[in-house]
Amino acid sequence: MLTPPGCLYVGLRFGALIGQGIAGLAAYPFVVWLARHARAWDPKHDVVYAGVAAAIILSALWFNFDAVAELAAQ
C-alpha cells in the first residue's frame, strides 16, 4: 500500500521519504491546473525534468545500494 500510513510500515526513514514523494505527486495536478490557468504550463519541460530526476534518483540508489540496503535492514 503506497499511502503515507502504509509507508510507515516500511519504516520511519523510508516512510518519510516516500511520503514526501507521494505528497508531491498528489499536488502535481493542482500545480498543472494553476499553471494552465496562467498559460505558463509547458508539458515538454515537465517530461524532460521528470526523466532527469528519475535518472539522478536511480544513479544515487545504484551508487549507494549497500548503504540503502543496510538502512532498510534496520
Q: Are 30 and 45 in contact (CB under 8 A)?
A: no
Q: Are 71 and 61 in contact (CB under 8 A)?
A: no
As a whole number of angstroms, the distance between CA 21 and CA 4 comes to 10
Threshold 0.85, pTM exceeds: no
SS3 of the chain: helix, strand, coil, percent, to 5: 85, 0, 15
Task: Write the pLDDT tens digit of every residue in 4-53.
Answer: 555 555 555 666 777 788 888 899 999 999 999 998 989 999 999 999 99
